Amino acid sequence: MPVLFISHGDCEKHVMLDHHPESPARLRAIHDAVQAREWGHSLVAVEAREIDDRCFGQVHPSEYVARLAALDPGEGIVRVDADTSLNRYSLRAARLAAGAAIQGVDAVMDDRAERAFCAVRPPGHHAESALPMGFCLFNNIALAAERALALGAERVAIFDFDVHHGNGTVEIFLERPEVMVCSSFQYPFYPGRFDDVSRDHIVLTPLDAGTSGAAFRAAIERDWLPAIERHRPDLILVSAGFDAHREDPLGGLALEDEDYLWVSQLLVDAAQRHCSGKLVSALEGGYHLDALARSTVAHLDALSA
Ligand SMILES: [Zn+2]
């Protein structure tokens, strides 16, 4: 079965302030690197579709969706927090990013694909149920989990290796133990929300600034492997942020390309053990264009193996 590469050109029309690190160049770097490789039939490009309003489910209340829609600035830019803003194309991009994650779930749950990667922006994991923040408007991976549950999955597990904590994903599923959330992140660091909660289904792995790939791998094996065996998910979802890379200008960790291949293989192996290989991944951060492109290719190497 194929691995889907879901994206849409309109995700590149969402532009925030001048010189913002979360820029359209990120997706262009990924597309260039993916197109430069020979993938055979293993990787199939699919155009994203916008999310259907019914799919917001319990993740984002309809008032929140309407509030964001009302922010549409027409010409110019409207800010929603210190480092997050919208232009006239942002809501379309956000609806495509969320829709891509849902398409990925639909395809793997329906046995039309084994795995999927969503090369989309804006990212999602900082968006809480009713709060846009940290470059994020809709929580794409949370919406993917909601979709999987609606399609009959009993237990879903989300793994987030972005350098920043996935506060939004934790907030959304804090009292929903059917969705396990495992997040590794630099600590202390942005965003400083929902990073000290205590629940059996919330697995937090704070990492000191400067943490190496070897120490990252040890922490992931210690925290994520037993969590996977405990939860026995029907579907594995990934918040794939590549800003814990040594070269990233925003993060302070020291992962290398090979560490992304390693953690991606670990998650594919877990998917093989528990859910017939089913895994859906969505892009989060990653702001050094070359490191982002190389790390994404490493991630796709694992997904398409
Ligand atoms: Zn990040």
pLDDT tens-digit series, residues 264-298: 999 999 999 999 999 999 999 999 999 999 999 99
Ligand 1 mean position to 55 CA, how many Å?
A: 25
pLDDT value of position 74: 82
Structure tokens given for 296: 């994404």
Structure tokens given for 59: 């993740």
Distance separating alpha carbons of residues 300 and 39, to the nearest angstrom: 10
- For the segment 244-265, the average pLDDT, to the nearest whole number, is 98
Longest dimension (CA), the chain: 50
- For the segment 215-233, the average pLDDT, to the nearest whole number, is 98
- Cβ-based neighbours of 211, under 8 Å, separated by 6 or more: 186, 219, 253, 254
> Which DSSP letter does residue 199 get?
B
Return the closest-CA partner of residue 121 out of 34, 29, 23.
23
126 belongs to the catalytic site: yes
Ligand 1 mean position to 82 CA, how many Å?
A: 16
Ligand 1 mean position to 192 CA, how many Å?
A: 13
Ligand 1 mean position to 210 CA, how many Å?
A: 15
Superfamily of domain 3-303: Histone deacetylase domain (3.40.800.20)
Structure tokens given for 115: 């795995």
Among residues 126, 164, 274, 299, which one is catalytic? 126
Q: DSSP string of 144-193?
A: HHHHHHHTT-S-EEEEE-SSS--HHHHHHHTT-TTEEEEEEEESS-TT-S
Ligand 1 mean position to 240 CA, how many Å?
A: 9
Ligand 1 mean position to 91 CA, how many Å?
A: 20
Q: What is the pLDDT of residues 40-78, one digit of tens each?
A: 878 999 999 999 999 999 999 999 999 999 997 888 899
Q: What is the pLDDT of residues 75-113, one digit of tens each?
A: 889 999 999 999 999 999 999 999 999 999 999 999 999
Q: DSSP string of 242-274?
A: -TTBTT-SS---BB-HHHHHHHHHHHHHHHHHH
CB of 201 closer than 8 Å to CB of 181: yes
Q: What is the pLDDT of residues 143-192, one digit of tens each?
A: 999 999 999 999 999 999 999 999 999 999 999 999 999 999 999 999 99
pLDDT value of position 75: 87
Distance separating alpha carbons of residues 145 and 255, to the nearest angstrom: 27
